[in-house]
Structure 1
Amino acid sequence: MIISNVMGGLGNQLFQYALGRHLSLKNNTILLLDISDYNTDSRKFELHNFNITLNIARQEDLPYSKRKSNTNKYKAYIYDMLFSKLKVRHEQFFHFDPTVLYYPDNTYLYGYWQSEKYFRSIEDTLRRDLTFVNRLSKEQLHLEERIKTENSIALHVRRGDYINHMLHPTCSLEYYTDAITIITQQIPNPIFYIFSDDIEWAQRNLKIRHPHQFITNNNAITDLRLMSACKHYIIANSTFSWWGAYLGSFEKKIVIAPKKWFNDTVNYSIRDLLPKHWIKI
Protein backbone atom coordinates (compact mmCIF):
# COMPACT_ATOMS: atom_id res chain seq x y z
CA MET A 1 0.00 0.00 0.00
CA ILE A 2 0.90 3.65 -0.47
CA ILE A 3 -0.23 6.04 2.24
CA SER A 4 -0.29 9.76 1.50
CA ASN A 5 -0.40 12.17 4.41
CA VAL A 6 -3.02 14.77 3.49
CA MET A 7 -2.66 18.19 5.10
CA GLY A 8 -3.29 21.85 4.43
CA GLY A 9 -5.79 23.50 2.14
CA LEU A 10 -7.48 22.19 -0.97
CA GLY A 11 -4.57 22.91 -3.32
CA ASN A 12 -2.12 21.03 -1.10
CA GLN A 13 -4.54 18.10 -0.78
CA LEU A 14 -4.70 17.73 -4.55
CA PHE A 15 -0.91 17.60 -4.93
CA GLN A 16 -0.65 15.01 -2.15
CA TYR A 17 -3.37 12.87 -3.69
CA ALA A 18 -1.85 13.13 -7.18
CA LEU A 19 1.56 11.74 -6.21
CA GLY A 20 0.00 9.02 -4.07
CA ARG A 21 -2.26 8.02 -6.96
CA HIS A 22 0.70 7.81 -9.32
CA LEU A 23 2.76 5.63 -6.98
CA SER A 24 -0.19 3.35 -6.20
CA LEU A 25 -0.75 2.72 -9.91
CA LYS A 26 2.94 2.20 -10.55
CA ASN A 27 3.19 -0.33 -7.72
CA ASN A 28 -0.19 -1.93 -8.46
CA THR A 29 -1.32 -1.36 -4.90
CA ILE A 30 -3.98 0.50 -2.93
CA LEU A 31 -3.73 4.18 -2.01
CA LEU A 32 -4.73 5.11 1.54
CA LEU A 33 -5.15 8.71 2.67
CA ASP A 34 -4.05 9.72 6.14
CA ILE A 35 -6.39 12.57 7.07
CA SER A 36 -5.63 12.53 10.80
CA ASP A 37 -4.16 16.07 10.63
CA TYR A 38 -7.72 17.38 10.23
CA ASN A 39 -8.52 16.30 13.76
CA THR A 40 -6.71 19.47 14.87
CA ASP A 41 -6.70 21.63 11.70
CA SER A 42 -9.40 24.26 11.21
CA ARG A 43 -9.25 23.63 7.46
CA LYS A 44 -11.39 20.90 5.93
CA PHE A 45 -10.61 17.69 4.09
CA GLU A 46 -12.12 18.34 0.64
CA LEU A 47 -11.26 15.39 -1.61
CA HIS A 48 -14.67 13.78 -1.17
CA ASN A 49 -15.92 16.46 -3.59
CA PHE A 50 -14.20 14.67 -6.48
CA ASN A 51 -14.74 11.43 -8.37
CA ILE A 52 -12.21 9.67 -6.15
CA THR A 53 -12.45 6.27 -4.50
CA LEU A 54 -11.53 7.27 -0.97
CA ASN A 55 -9.69 4.75 1.16
CA ILE A 56 -8.99 6.37 4.50
CA ALA A 57 -6.08 5.02 6.54
CA ARG A 58 -6.90 3.62 9.97
CA GLN A 59 -4.75 4.29 13.02
CA GLU A 60 -3.25 0.80 12.78
CA ASP A 61 -2.21 1.49 9.16
CA LEU A 62 -0.12 4.51 10.10
CA PRO A 63 3.57 4.72 11.02
CA TYR A 64 4.16 4.48 14.77
CA SER A 65 5.19 8.14 14.82
CA LYS A 66 1.74 9.16 13.55
CA ARG A 67 -0.35 7.11 15.95
CA LYS A 68 -2.14 8.89 18.78
CA SER A 69 -1.14 6.23 21.29
CA ASN A 70 2.57 7.01 20.91
CA THR A 71 3.48 9.84 23.25
CA ASN A 72 7.24 9.36 22.87
CA LYS A 73 7.65 10.57 19.31
CA TYR A 74 11.42 10.19 19.30
CA LYS A 75 11.25 6.47 20.04
CA ALA A 76 8.44 6.10 17.50
CA TYR A 77 10.57 7.72 14.77
CA ILE A 78 13.46 5.39 15.57
CA TYR A 79 11.15 2.38 15.41
CA ASP A 80 9.79 3.54 12.05
CA MET A 81 13.30 3.88 10.64
CA LEU A 82 14.65 0.57 11.93
CA PHE A 83 11.82 -1.92 12.13
CA SER A 84 8.65 -0.86 10.34
CA LYS A 85 7.79 -2.42 6.96
CA LEU A 86 6.15 0.91 6.12
CA LYS A 87 8.90 3.35 5.13
CA VAL A 88 8.24 6.99 5.92
CA ARG A 89 9.45 9.25 3.10
CA HIS A 90 9.75 12.95 3.89
CA GLU A 91 9.96 15.45 1.06
CA GLN A 92 13.62 16.50 0.79
CA PHE A 93 13.39 19.38 -1.69
CA PHE A 94 10.72 21.83 -2.80
CA HIS A 95 11.68 21.26 -6.42
CA PHE A 96 10.95 18.00 -8.24
CA ASP A 97 12.91 14.99 -7.01
CA PRO A 98 12.90 12.21 -9.65
CA THR A 99 13.89 9.54 -7.10
CA VAL A 100 10.43 9.90 -5.53
CA LEU A 101 8.87 8.24 -8.58
CA TYR A 102 10.75 5.03 -7.70
CA TYR A 103 9.41 4.71 -4.17
CA PRO A 104 8.19 1.11 -3.72
CA ASP A 105 5.11 -0.40 -2.15
CA ASN A 106 4.68 0.10 1.63
CA THR A 107 5.61 3.79 1.49
CA TYR A 108 4.21 6.59 3.63
CA LEU A 109 4.45 9.99 1.91
CA TYR A 110 4.91 13.13 3.98
CA GLY A 111 5.32 16.35 2.02
CA TYR A 112 3.73 18.77 -0.42
CA TRP A 113 5.04 17.46 -3.78
CA GLN A 114 4.20 20.60 -5.74
CA SER A 115 5.11 19.79 -9.33
CA GLU A 116 3.13 18.30 -12.19
CA LYS A 117 6.19 16.17 -12.90
CA TYR A 118 5.09 13.91 -10.04
CA PHE A 119 1.93 12.94 -11.93
CA ARG A 120 2.30 14.04 -15.56
CA SER A 121 2.33 10.44 -16.82
CA ILE A 122 -1.13 9.77 -15.31
CA GLU A 123 -2.73 13.05 -16.38
CA ASP A 124 -5.72 11.43 -18.10
CA THR A 125 -6.44 9.22 -15.09
CA LEU A 126 -6.02 12.14 -12.72
CA ARG A 127 -8.41 14.35 -14.68
CA ARG A 128 -11.06 11.63 -14.49
CA ASP A 129 -10.46 11.31 -10.74
CA LEU A 130 -10.72 15.06 -10.27
CA THR A 131 -14.09 15.45 -11.90
CA PHE A 132 -16.23 17.50 -9.53
CA VAL A 133 -19.15 15.75 -7.87
CA ASN A 134 -20.20 18.57 -5.51
CA ARG A 135 -23.69 19.93 -6.03
CA LEU A 136 -24.31 23.41 -7.41
CA SER A 137 -27.37 25.59 -7.04
CA LYS A 138 -29.36 26.47 -10.17
CA GLU A 139 -27.71 29.90 -10.25
CA GLN A 140 -24.24 28.36 -9.97
CA LEU A 141 -24.99 25.85 -12.72
CA HIS A 142 -26.15 28.64 -15.02
CA LEU A 143 -23.00 30.60 -14.23
CA GLU A 144 -20.81 27.58 -14.94
CA GLU A 145 -22.47 27.04 -18.34
CA ARG A 146 -22.12 30.72 -19.22
CA ILE A 147 -18.45 30.73 -18.27
CA LYS A 148 -17.81 27.80 -20.61
CA THR A 149 -19.29 29.62 -23.62
CA GLU A 150 -17.34 32.87 -23.19
CA ASN A 151 -13.72 33.97 -23.54
CA SER A 152 -13.62 33.73 -19.78
CA ILE A 153 -10.59 34.63 -17.69
CA ALA A 154 -10.37 33.54 -14.06
CA LEU A 155 -8.42 36.01 -11.94
CA HIS A 156 -7.50 34.93 -8.42
CA VAL A 157 -6.51 37.30 -5.63
CA ARG A 158 -5.32 35.68 -2.42
CA ARG A 159 -4.82 37.93 0.56
CA GLY A 160 -6.38 36.75 3.85
CA ASP A 161 -3.78 34.51 5.48
CA TYR A 162 -1.02 35.86 3.19
CA ILE A 163 -1.07 39.45 4.48
CA ASN A 164 1.34 38.70 7.34
CA HIS A 165 2.50 35.29 6.17
CA MET A 166 6.10 34.28 6.90
CA LEU A 167 6.55 32.42 3.59
CA HIS A 168 4.07 33.82 1.08
CA PRO A 169 3.75 37.48 0.05
CA THR A 170 0.58 38.82 -1.52
CA CYS A 171 0.80 39.47 -5.25
CA SER A 172 1.22 43.17 -5.99
CA LEU A 173 -1.36 45.31 -7.73
CA GLU A 174 1.31 45.88 -10.41
CA TYR A 175 1.37 42.12 -11.09
CA TYR A 176 -2.38 42.06 -11.73
CA THR A 177 -2.27 45.21 -13.85
CA ASP A 178 0.52 43.80 -16.03
CA ALA A 179 -1.16 40.40 -16.29
CA ILE A 180 -4.47 41.96 -17.35
CA THR A 181 -2.67 43.99 -20.03
CA ILE A 182 -0.83 40.93 -21.37
CA ILE A 183 -3.84 38.63 -21.49
CA THR A 184 -6.25 41.14 -23.01
CA GLN A 185 -3.80 41.72 -25.87
CA GLN A 186 -4.21 38.03 -26.77
CA ILE A 187 -7.87 37.29 -25.98
CA PRO A 188 -10.68 38.98 -27.97
CA ASN A 189 -13.83 39.97 -26.08
CA PRO A 190 -12.53 38.82 -22.68
CA ILE A 191 -14.79 38.50 -19.67
CA PHE A 192 -13.12 38.37 -16.27
CA TYR A 193 -14.32 36.36 -13.30
CA ILE A 194 -12.61 37.45 -10.09
CA PHE A 195 -12.18 35.00 -7.21
CA SER A 196 -10.79 36.17 -3.89
CA ASP A 197 -10.78 35.67 -0.14
CA ASP A 198 -10.79 39.49 0.11
CA ILE A 199 -13.34 40.48 -2.48
CA GLU A 200 -13.70 44.01 -1.07
CA TRP A 201 -9.99 44.70 -1.67
CA ALA A 202 -10.30 43.34 -5.20
CA GLN A 203 -13.34 45.53 -5.92
CA ARG A 204 -11.56 48.64 -4.62
CA ASN A 205 -8.23 48.10 -6.34
CA LEU A 206 -8.57 46.13 -9.56
CA LYS A 207 -9.12 48.37 -12.56
CA ILE A 208 -10.61 46.19 -15.29
CA ARG A 209 -12.02 47.97 -18.33
CA HIS A 210 -13.51 44.82 -19.77
CA PRO A 211 -16.70 43.07 -18.65
CA HIS A 212 -16.15 41.38 -15.32
CA GLN A 213 -17.90 39.76 -12.38
CA PHE A 214 -16.78 39.31 -8.79
CA ILE A 215 -17.62 35.80 -7.55
CA THR A 216 -18.98 35.88 -4.01
CA ASN A 217 -20.65 33.74 -1.37
CA ASN A 218 -19.19 30.40 -2.49
CA ASN A 219 -17.20 27.78 -0.62
CA ALA A 220 -13.72 26.75 -1.76
CA ILE A 221 -14.79 23.72 -3.79
CA THR A 222 -17.42 25.68 -5.72
CA ASP A 223 -14.94 28.46 -6.46
CA LEU A 224 -12.43 25.91 -7.74
CA ARG A 225 -15.06 24.27 -9.93
CA LEU A 226 -16.14 27.60 -11.45
CA MET A 227 -12.52 28.66 -11.86
CA SER A 228 -11.68 25.47 -13.75
CA ALA A 229 -14.61 26.12 -16.11
CA CYS A 230 -12.86 29.26 -17.39
CA LYS A 231 -10.71 29.25 -20.52
CA HIS A 232 -7.79 31.40 -19.34
CA TYR A 233 -6.18 32.28 -16.02
CA ILE A 234 -4.36 34.90 -14.00
CA ILE A 235 -3.38 33.02 -10.87
CA ALA A 236 -1.98 34.06 -7.51
CA ASN A 237 1.01 32.46 -5.79
CA SER A 238 -1.40 29.86 -4.49
CA THR A 239 -1.80 26.14 -5.05
CA PHE A 240 -5.56 26.75 -5.06
CA SER A 241 -5.52 28.75 -8.29
CA TRP A 242 -2.67 26.58 -9.62
CA TRP A 243 -5.16 23.71 -9.61
CA GLY A 244 -7.94 25.90 -10.96
CA ALA A 245 -5.74 26.58 -14.00
CA TYR A 246 -4.44 23.02 -14.28
CA LEU A 247 -7.92 21.51 -14.27
CA GLY A 248 -9.13 23.90 -16.95
CA SER A 249 -9.77 21.84 -20.08
CA PHE A 250 -9.59 24.51 -22.78
CA GLU A 251 -6.86 23.30 -25.14
CA LYS A 252 -5.46 26.75 -25.97
CA LYS A 253 -5.65 28.19 -22.47
CA ILE A 254 -3.31 30.98 -21.43
CA VAL A 255 -2.09 30.95 -17.85
CA ILE A 256 -0.23 33.86 -16.27
CA ALA A 257 1.51 33.20 -12.96
CA PRO A 258 3.75 35.23 -10.63
CA LYS A 259 7.49 34.58 -10.68
CA LYS A 260 7.65 35.50 -6.99
CA TRP A 261 6.01 32.68 -5.02
CA PHE A 262 7.79 33.03 -1.67
CA ASN A 263 9.18 35.78 0.51
CA ASP A 264 12.92 36.47 0.43
CA THR A 265 13.27 34.84 3.85
CA VAL A 266 13.32 31.38 2.22
CA ASN A 267 15.32 29.95 -0.65
CA TYR A 268 12.90 27.51 -2.29
CA SER A 269 13.36 26.83 -5.98
CA ILE A 270 10.06 27.01 -7.89
CA ARG A 271 11.63 25.86 -11.17
CA ASP A 272 9.38 22.77 -11.27
CA LEU A 273 6.26 24.32 -9.75
CA LEU A 274 4.93 26.20 -12.78
CA PRO A 275 4.46 24.29 -16.07
CA LYS A 276 6.74 25.46 -18.86
CA HIS A 277 3.99 26.79 -21.11
CA TRP A 278 2.61 29.11 -18.42
CA ILE A 279 3.63 32.78 -18.66
CA LYS A 280 5.63 33.94 -15.64
CA ILE A 281 5.83 37.64 -14.80
Structure 2
Amino acid sequence: MEHGKFLCYTYNGRLGNHMFQFASLTGIAALNNRTIIVGMDDYLYKVFDLMNVLVIRNRDICNSFDLIEEGLGCCKFDARLMTLREDKNFKIGLYLQSWKYFYHVQDILLRQYRFRDNISKTAMRIVNEIRLTHRQHSLTLIGIHIRIGDIANEMHNRNGLVIAPEGYIYKAMDYMKSKFPNSIFIVASDDMEWAKNVLDLRLNDSVHLLEKDNMPYIDLAVLASCDHVIQTVGSFGWWAAFLAGGISIYYPHPGRVGSAGEARYNYEDFFPPNWIPIDV
Protein backbone atom coordinates (compact mmCIF):
# COMPACT_ATOMS: atom_id res chain seq x y z
CA MET A 1 0.00 0.00 0.00
CA GLU A 2 1.11 3.53 -0.71
CA HIS A 3 3.00 5.10 2.17
CA GLY A 4 1.35 7.83 4.16
CA LYS A 5 -2.26 7.25 3.07
CA PHE A 6 -3.88 4.84 5.54
CA LEU A 7 -4.83 4.37 9.20
CA CYS A 8 -5.91 1.32 11.20
CA TYR A 9 -7.06 0.99 14.79
CA THR A 10 -6.51 -1.80 17.31
CA TYR A 11 -10.03 -2.84 18.36
CA ASN A 12 -9.75 -2.87 22.13
CA GLY A 13 -12.82 -3.66 24.22
CA ARG A 14 -16.45 -3.87 23.15
CA LEU A 15 -18.86 -1.81 21.03
CA GLY A 16 -18.57 1.52 22.86
CA ASN A 17 -14.78 1.24 22.92
CA HIS A 18 -14.66 0.44 19.21
CA MET A 19 -16.80 3.49 18.52
CA PHE A 20 -14.36 5.74 20.36
CA GLN A 21 -11.42 4.26 18.48
CA PHE A 22 -13.03 4.66 15.07
CA ALA A 23 -14.34 8.15 15.90
CA SER A 24 -10.91 9.30 17.01
CA LEU A 25 -9.32 7.89 13.87
CA THR A 26 -11.94 9.75 11.83
CA GLY A 27 -10.81 13.00 13.41
CA ILE A 28 -7.13 12.18 13.00
CA ALA A 29 -7.63 11.04 9.39
CA ALA A 30 -9.38 14.29 8.49
CA LEU A 31 -6.43 16.35 9.69
CA ASN A 32 -3.83 14.15 8.00
CA ASN A 33 -5.54 13.31 4.70
CA ARG A 34 -5.75 9.59 5.48
CA THR A 35 -8.20 6.79 4.73
CA ILE A 36 -9.28 4.39 7.49
CA ILE A 37 -9.04 0.67 6.74
CA VAL A 38 -11.97 -1.48 7.90
CA GLY A 39 -12.32 -5.26 7.67
CA MET A 40 -15.46 -6.93 6.34
CA ASP A 41 -15.78 -8.84 9.62
CA ASP A 42 -15.26 -5.82 11.85
CA TYR A 43 -17.99 -5.32 14.45
CA LEU A 44 -18.54 -1.69 13.52
CA TYR A 45 -18.91 -2.49 9.83
CA LYS A 46 -21.69 -4.94 10.66
CA VAL A 47 -23.51 -2.38 12.83
CA PHE A 48 -23.02 0.90 10.94
CA ASP A 49 -23.16 1.90 7.30
CA LEU A 50 -19.62 3.29 7.34
CA MET A 51 -18.65 5.64 4.52
CA ASN A 52 -15.40 6.85 3.00
CA VAL A 53 -13.40 3.93 4.37
CA LEU A 54 -11.38 1.27 2.61
CA VAL A 55 -13.14 -2.05 3.23
CA ILE A 56 -10.94 -5.10 2.79
CA ARG A 57 -11.48 -8.78 3.48
CA ASN A 58 -8.53 -9.15 5.81
CA ARG A 59 -6.94 -6.41 7.93
CA ASP A 60 -3.62 -8.26 8.31
CA ILE A 61 -2.04 -5.48 6.22
CA CYS A 62 -2.46 -3.29 9.31
CA ASN A 63 0.16 -5.37 11.11
CA SER A 64 2.78 -3.91 8.77
CA PHE A 65 1.92 -0.33 9.77
CA ASP A 66 3.83 1.58 12.43
CA LEU A 67 2.05 1.32 15.79
CA ILE A 68 1.59 4.45 17.89
CA GLU A 69 -0.38 4.48 21.13
CA GLU A 70 -1.89 7.11 23.36
CA GLY A 71 0.49 7.93 26.14
CA LEU A 72 -1.70 9.51 28.81
CA GLY A 73 -4.36 6.92 29.63
CA CYS A 74 -7.65 5.76 28.16
CA CYS A 75 -9.66 8.91 28.77
CA LYS A 76 -7.20 11.75 28.24
CA PHE A 77 -6.56 13.67 25.03
CA ASP A 78 -3.09 13.07 23.60
CA ALA A 79 -2.43 15.91 21.15
CA ARG A 80 0.63 14.12 19.73
CA LEU A 81 -1.65 11.81 17.78
CA MET A 82 -3.25 14.64 15.81
CA THR A 83 -0.21 15.20 13.58
CA LEU A 84 1.30 12.24 11.76
CA ARG A 85 4.37 11.80 9.60
CA GLU A 86 3.38 12.09 5.97
CA ASP A 87 5.49 9.16 4.70
CA LYS A 88 4.12 6.37 6.92
CA ASN A 89 0.93 4.39 7.46
CA PHE A 90 -0.09 3.99 11.09
CA LYS A 91 -2.05 1.73 13.39
CA ILE A 92 -3.28 3.78 16.37
CA GLY A 93 -4.25 2.44 19.82
CA LEU A 94 -5.43 2.07 22.55
CA TYR A 95 -8.84 3.40 23.69
CA LEU A 96 -8.76 7.05 22.50
CA GLN A 97 -11.70 8.10 24.65
CA SER A 98 -11.85 11.86 24.24
CA TRP A 99 -14.29 13.99 22.28
CA LYS A 100 -11.35 16.29 21.46
CA TYR A 101 -10.06 13.81 18.87
CA PHE A 102 -13.18 14.23 16.74
CA TYR A 103 -15.07 17.42 17.74
CA HIS A 104 -14.10 18.99 14.40
CA VAL A 105 -15.77 16.17 12.41
CA GLN A 106 -18.91 15.59 14.45
CA ASP A 107 -21.25 16.04 11.47
CA ILE A 108 -19.23 13.52 9.47
CA LEU A 109 -19.24 11.12 12.39
CA LEU A 110 -23.02 11.26 12.79
CA ARG A 111 -23.32 10.23 9.16
CA GLN A 112 -20.80 7.45 9.68
CA TYR A 113 -22.72 6.13 12.66
CA ARG A 114 -25.98 5.49 10.85
CA PHE A 115 -27.21 2.06 11.86
CA ARG A 116 -27.67 -0.50 9.14
CA ASP A 117 -31.25 -0.81 7.93
CA ASN A 118 -32.12 -4.02 9.77
CA ILE A 119 -30.93 -2.58 13.08
CA SER A 120 -32.62 0.78 12.52
CA LYS A 121 -35.94 -0.87 11.61
CA THR A 122 -35.87 -3.08 14.70
CA ALA A 123 -35.15 -0.09 16.95
CA MET A 124 -37.96 1.95 15.36
CA ARG A 125 -40.40 -0.92 15.85
CA ILE A 126 -39.51 -1.06 19.56
CA VAL A 127 -39.85 2.70 19.97
CA ASN A 128 -43.19 2.79 18.14
CA GLU A 129 -44.52 -0.06 20.28
CA ILE A 130 -43.56 1.88 23.42
CA ARG A 131 -45.38 4.96 22.13
CA LEU A 132 -48.48 2.89 21.33
CA THR A 133 -48.42 1.32 24.78
CA HIS A 134 -48.68 4.78 26.29
CA ARG A 135 -51.20 5.90 23.65
CA GLN A 136 -49.41 9.18 23.09
CA HIS A 137 -47.25 10.38 20.22
CA SER A 138 -46.18 13.64 21.88
CA LEU A 139 -44.12 11.95 24.58
CA THR A 140 -40.56 13.01 25.28
CA LEU A 141 -38.44 9.87 25.22
CA ILE A 142 -35.58 9.84 27.71
CA GLY A 143 -33.10 7.00 27.45
CA ILE A 144 -31.26 5.65 30.48
CA HIS A 145 -28.27 3.34 30.25
CA ILE A 146 -27.29 1.64 33.51
CA ARG A 147 -23.86 0.01 33.47
CA ILE A 148 -23.25 -2.60 36.16
CA GLY A 149 -21.71 -5.76 34.68
CA ASP A 150 -17.94 -5.85 34.72
CA ILE A 151 -17.62 -2.71 36.85
CA ALA A 152 -19.11 -4.64 39.76
CA ASN A 153 -16.41 -7.29 39.67
CA GLU A 154 -13.58 -7.40 42.16
CA MET A 155 -10.81 -6.21 39.84
CA HIS A 156 -12.59 -3.04 38.75
CA ASN A 157 -13.74 -2.34 42.29
CA ARG A 158 -10.16 -2.68 43.52
CA ASN A 159 -9.01 -0.24 40.82
CA GLY A 160 -11.57 2.32 41.91
CA LEU A 161 -14.09 2.19 39.07
CA VAL A 162 -17.58 2.64 40.48
CA ILE A 163 -21.21 2.02 39.65
CA ALA A 164 -23.29 5.19 39.52
CA PRO A 165 -25.33 5.22 42.75
CA GLU A 166 -29.09 4.91 42.86
CA GLY A 167 -29.38 8.46 44.16
CA TYR A 168 -27.76 9.78 40.99
CA ILE A 169 -30.24 7.93 38.78
CA TYR A 170 -33.19 9.29 40.76
CA LYS A 171 -31.83 12.84 40.74
CA ALA A 172 -31.17 12.72 37.00
CA MET A 173 -34.70 11.43 36.38
CA ASP A 174 -36.15 14.23 38.54
CA TYR A 175 -34.17 16.79 36.55
CA MET A 176 -35.50 15.46 33.25
CA LYS A 177 -39.04 15.20 34.62
CA SER A 178 -38.94 18.83 35.71
CA LYS A 179 -38.05 19.88 32.16
CA PHE A 180 -40.25 17.37 30.32
CA PRO A 181 -43.31 16.44 32.42
CA ASN A 182 -44.86 14.40 29.60
CA SER A 183 -42.03 11.91 29.29
CA ILE A 184 -41.19 8.24 29.47
CA PHE A 185 -37.90 6.66 30.50
CA ILE A 186 -36.59 3.86 28.29
CA VAL A 187 -34.00 1.82 30.16
CA ALA A 188 -31.22 -0.42 28.88
CA SER A 189 -28.75 -2.17 31.15
CA ASP A 190 -26.31 -5.06 31.26
CA ASP A 191 -28.01 -6.07 34.54
CA MET A 192 -31.74 -5.62 34.06
CA GLU A 193 -32.59 -7.22 37.43
CA TRP A 194 -30.56 -4.54 39.22
CA ALA A 195 -32.17 -1.84 37.09
CA LYS A 196 -35.67 -3.20 37.72
CA ASN A 197 -35.13 -3.32 41.49
CA VAL A 198 -33.94 0.28 41.48
CA LEU A 199 -36.62 1.66 39.17
CA ASP A 200 -39.52 -0.23 40.74
CA LEU A 201 -39.30 2.39 43.47
CA ARG A 202 -40.20 5.11 40.94
CA LEU A 203 -43.89 4.29 41.00
CA ASN A 204 -44.95 7.72 39.75
CA ASP A 205 -42.74 7.62 36.67
CA SER A 206 -43.40 5.99 33.31
CA VAL A 207 -40.55 3.53 32.87
CA HIS A 208 -40.07 0.97 30.12
CA LEU A 209 -37.35 -1.67 30.50
CA LEU A 210 -35.89 -3.03 27.27
CA GLU A 211 -35.57 -6.79 26.79
CA LYS A 212 -32.55 -8.16 28.61
CA ASP A 213 -31.69 -10.44 25.68
CA ASN A 214 -31.40 -7.63 23.12
CA MET A 215 -28.16 -7.43 21.21
CA PRO A 216 -26.13 -4.42 22.42
CA TYR A 217 -26.45 -2.62 19.10
CA ILE A 218 -30.27 -2.84 19.30
CA ASP A 219 -30.22 -1.22 22.75
CA LEU A 220 -27.86 1.43 21.44
CA ALA A 221 -30.08 2.17 18.44
CA VAL A 222 -33.15 2.49 20.69
CA LEU A 223 -31.36 4.84 23.10
CA ALA A 224 -30.02 6.86 20.17
CA SER A 225 -33.63 7.28 19.00
CA CYS A 226 -34.57 8.99 22.26
CA ASP A 227 -34.81 12.74 22.65
CA HIS A 228 -32.42 12.89 25.61
CA VAL A 229 -30.20 10.46 27.51
CA ILE A 230 -29.15 9.81 31.10
CA GLN A 231 -25.92 7.86 31.20
CA THR A 232 -24.29 6.26 34.22
CA VAL A 233 -20.68 5.21 33.53
CA GLY A 234 -18.82 3.70 30.59
CA SER A 235 -18.48 4.21 26.86
CA PHE A 236 -21.79 2.62 25.79
CA GLY A 237 -23.95 5.23 27.52
CA TRP A 238 -21.59 7.95 26.31
CA TRP A 239 -22.30 7.02 22.70
CA ALA A 240 -26.03 6.70 23.28
CA ALA A 241 -25.98 10.31 24.46
CA PHE A 242 -23.81 11.49 21.58
CA LEU A 243 -26.00 9.86 18.94
CA ALA A 244 -29.27 11.04 20.51
CA GLY A 245 -28.01 14.60 20.37
CA GLY A 246 -30.30 16.08 23.03
CA ILE A 247 -29.64 16.84 26.68
CA SER A 248 -27.09 14.46 28.17
CA ILE A 249 -26.83 13.89 31.90
CA TYR A 250 -23.76 12.15 33.30
CA TYR A 251 -22.36 10.95 36.62
CA PRO A 252 -19.18 12.99 37.25
CA HIS A 253 -17.28 10.49 39.43
CA PRO A 254 -16.73 7.22 37.49
CA GLY A 255 -13.54 6.70 39.49
CA ARG A 256 -13.26 6.99 43.28
CA VAL A 257 -11.32 10.05 44.38
CA GLY A 258 -7.62 9.24 44.60
CA SER A 259 -7.96 5.82 42.97
CA ALA A 260 -6.24 4.33 39.93
CA GLY A 261 -9.62 4.41 38.24
CA GLU A 262 -9.90 8.17 38.66
CA ALA A 263 -6.32 8.63 37.40
CA ARG A 264 -7.35 7.17 34.04
CA TYR A 265 -9.53 10.21 33.36
CA ASN A 266 -9.23 13.83 32.52
CA TYR A 267 -12.91 14.62 32.89
CA GLU A 268 -12.69 17.71 30.70
CA ASP A 269 -11.29 15.53 27.92
CA PHE A 270 -13.86 12.79 28.38
CA PHE A 271 -17.13 14.72 28.88
CA PRO A 272 -18.12 17.39 26.31
CA PRO A 273 -18.60 20.81 27.94
CA ASN A 274 -22.28 21.07 26.97
CA TRP A 275 -23.21 17.88 28.83
CA ILE A 276 -24.66 18.23 32.33
CA PRO A 277 -23.09 16.61 35.40
CA ILE A 278 -25.33 15.70 38.31
CA ASP A 279 -23.67 14.97 41.62
CA VAL A 280 -25.03 13.29 44.73
Cα distance in 1 for residues equivalent to 2:113 and 2:12: 18
Structure 1 unmatched runs, 5+: 39-43, 64-85
Aligned equivalent of 1:114: 97
- Confirm or deny: 8 A CA contact 2:28 2:101 kept in the other structure: no
Secondary structure at the counterpart of residue 2 of structure 1: strand
Greater mean alpha carbon deviation, residues 109-118 or residues 130-139: 130-139
- Confirm or deny: 8 A CA contact 1:21 1:31 kept in the other structure: yes
Greater mean alpha carbon deviation, residues 146-155 or residues 266-275: 146-155
Aligned equivalent of 1:163: 152
2:255 aligned with 1:262: yes
User: What amino acid sits opposite 1:108 in the alignment?
Assistant: K
Secondary structure at the counterpart of residue 62 of structure 1: helix
Cα distance in 1 for residues equivalent to 2:276 and 2:125: 30
Structure 1 segment 1-281 matched on structure 2, within 5 A: 1-33=6-38, 45-52=43-50, 53=53, 55-56=55-56, 58-63=59-64, 86-93=65-72, 94-105=75-86, 106-136=89-119, 140-145=123-128, 150-164=139-153, 165-166=155-156, 167=159, 168-206=161-199, 207-208=201-202, 209-216=204-211, 217-249=213-245, 253-263=246-256, 264-266=259-261, 267-268=263-264, 269-281=266-278
Structure 2 unmatched runs, 5+: 1-5, 132-136
User: What amino acid sits opposite 1:130 in the alignment?
Assistant: Y
- TM-score with structure 2 setting the length: 0.80
- TM-score with structure 1 setting the length: 0.80
Greater mean alpha carbon deviation, residues 130-139 or residues 88-97: 130-139
The Cα offsets for residues 176-204 of structure 1, whole Å up to 9 and x where unpaired, read as 11211222112221110011111111111
Secondary structure at the counterpart of residue 242 of structure 2: helix
User: What amino acid sits opposite 1:31 in the alignment?
Assistant: I
1:254–1:29 Cα change, 3 Å: closer
Greater mean alpha carbon deviation, residues 131-140 or residues 9-18: 131-140
- Confirm or deny: 8 A CA contact 1:116 1:273 kept in the other structure: yes
Higher relative helix content: 2
Cα distance in 2 for residues equivalent to 1:133 and 1:59: 25
Question: RMSD of the TM alignment (CA)?
Answer: 2.4
The Cα offsets for residues 64-113 of structure 1, whole Å up to 9 and x where unpaired, read as xxxxxxxxxxxxxxxxxxxxxx4321111131122321123422201111
1:142–1:61 Cα change, 3 Å: closer
Aligned equivalent of 2:134: none
Cα distance in 2 for residues equivalent to 1:47 and 1:137: 14
The alignment-based identity, stated in percent, is 27
| Number of corresponding residues | 249
